[in-house]
Amino acid sequence: MSRRGRSMTAQSGSGGGGSDGEIDLTPMLDVVFIMLIFFIVTSSFVKEPGADITKADALTTESCVRGTIIFAITGSGEIYYDKKQLPIGRAYRLAEAAKKEAPKANVVIQADVDAPTSVLSELTGVLKPLMDAPLCVSTNEAG
């Protein structure tokens, strides 16, 4: 009560009763900053291949650890990365650039159920030097 009285006398001229209606923004700012930092840290900038594929179902599906470099192979054997179709020759350079950006990232291939294994094999062969872990073939969890 006494505090309000004092501030009123001090700021009555310029504030025009501002101190009465003013809300302390500090706690909200704290929360907003923490959220901001959280989202900056967690954002991984995954480039989705954007191809329409049907993944195979698998009972032993597990999560691909840090699988953020994602290629897709459609049923007709076309390779997609970052929503664009590309020839196999460019796959290595794109994956290398992605790997440079995020050195811990692993390669994931989304293969359509009808995708020929010859294309999958070729793509795996091209990307093999960049892989630290076995190839992760994307599947749907069955059951």
Residue ranges in contact with other proteins by CB under 8 A: 9-11, 13-14, 25, 29, 32-33, 35-36, 39-40, 42-46, 48, 56-64, 67-68, 70, 73, 108, 110-118, 120-121, 124-125, 128, 133-141
CB of 96 vs other proteins, minimal distance in Å: 18
Q: Of 2 and 118, which CB lies nearer to other proteins in the complex structure?
A: 118
CB of 109 vs other proteins, minimal distance in Å: 8
Q: Of 1 and 25, which CB lies nearer to other proteins in the complex structure?
A: 25
| Cβ-proximal residues to 79 (8 Å cutoff; 6+ apart), any chain | 71, 72, 73, 85, 86, 87, 88, 91, 119, 123
Sheet of strand 106-111, all strands in order from the earlier edge strand to the far edge: 84-86, 79-81, 67-73, 106-111
- The residue type of 128 is K
CA–CA gap between residue 75 and residue 77 (Å, rounded): 5
Q: Of 90 and 128, which CB lies nearer to other proteins in the complex structure?
A: 128
